[in-house]
Structure 1
Amino acid sequence: MPAPAAGRAFAATPKRYFRVVAIAEAITWTLLIAGMLQKYVFDAGEWGVSLGGGLHGFVFIAYAASVVLVAVNQRWSLGVAAAGIASAVVPYATIPFDLWADRTGRLHGPWRRETDGHPSDGSVANRLLRWGLARPVLVAVLAVVAVALVFGALLLIGPPGGRD
């Protein structure tokens, strides 16, 4: 297989991209749980929850956005996409979801950079997907900014259950 073009190297396939983000989401669960143990079991301060929770929140939002991106590319049903997003709520469930999606063929194939005659090719979501895939660096920057804005807004609102 030839090496991907320079702008496409960050995520050669939907499967590789999705797997990296799913694993990152699981890793940040570990950081959050370790921070909670540090705070509530070992009474060693809040810094672990602040750090782990912040990283987890950021990657959680990025994972949800990634599910939407891959769902459009792979033409997942709304139910499969919802299950993918819901898998991030349960610690470590993104890994089994990723394995299931791969095993059932839901992650197979390349990024859809061109129309292929499918009835959904003309939809807004599919046109945006193709536009974004043609500009991966710009979209990556916009995605990071969007996730950061959502994350910042959520930080202003505060954690679930309020602040101590």
Structure 2
Amino acid sequence: MSTTAARPTTGRFTPTKLFRAVAITEAITWTLLLIGMFLKYVTETTELGVRVFGMLHGIAFVAYCVVTVVVAVDRRWSAGRAMLALFCAIPPLATVPFERRAVKQGWLGDSWRLPEGAGTSAPDRTIAWLLRNPVRGAAVGAAVVAGLTLIALIVGPPFQK
């Protein structure tokens, strides 16, 4: 096996480290959005916090969902576990307790399964390619996050007056 293929299985972007980073980022941006909402709706001083932190949280939310799908496919999570992980992005700060439980239960791991022995399903082959080509994989991931964020912006907020 070439060193290029082995690179994604070790080092900086293990399933645990990647999932932890996006789970914490999602929780931090949720906190910032809640502060922005407090400033807008309670103190009625500014809505800038909601605009700025809302956008940041939207991007972090989508990134968390994309990484959750990648990890779920790689780690062979059940549909129920994957749906629970995705649901945890909705209540404020729930991604962090889920991540801690996932680490404690061994749901994440310190190496990627797919680059070593890609499965036969289309999701397995896709995730394996992304992990074997980390620069391209990161670019594809960023493009997916940007595209889904753009769609969310076009659709608009989930609740409107």
TM beyond 0.5? yes
For residue 114 of structure 1, what is the aligned residue in structure 2?
Answer: 116
Counterpart Cα distance in 1 of 2:102 and 2:9: 26
For residue 141 of structure 1, what is the aligned residue in structure 2?
Answer: 139
* TM-score relative to the length of structure 1: 0.88
Greater RCO between the two (CA within 8 Å, min separation 6)? 2
* TM-score relative to the length of structure 2: 0.89
* Root mean square deviation, CA, Å: 1.9
Contact 1:84–1:94 (Cα < 8 Å) also in 2: yes
Contact 1:7–1:136 (Cα < 8 Å) also in 2: no
- Deviation >3 Å, runs of 4+: 4-10
Matched letter for residue 48 of structure 2:
W
SS in 1 for 2:106: coil
From 149, 152, 161, the equivalent of 1:151 is 149
Deviation at 1:74, TM superposition (A): 0.8
For residue 81 of structure 1, what is the aligned residue in structure 2?
Answer: 82
Deviation at 1:142, TM superposition (A): 1.5
5+ residue gaps, structure 2, are 1-5
For residue 27 of structure 2, what is the aligned residue in structure 1?
Answer: 26
Distance 1:5-1:123 versus aligned 2 partners, 3 A rule: closer
Deviation at 1:144, TM superposition (A): 0.9
Q: How many residues align?
A: 155
Contact 2:8–2:132 (Cα < 8 Å) also in 1: no
Matched letter for residue 143 of structure 1:
G
Counterpart Cα distance in 2 of 1:144 and 1:8: 21
SS in 1 for 2:116: coil
5+ residue gaps, structure 1, are none
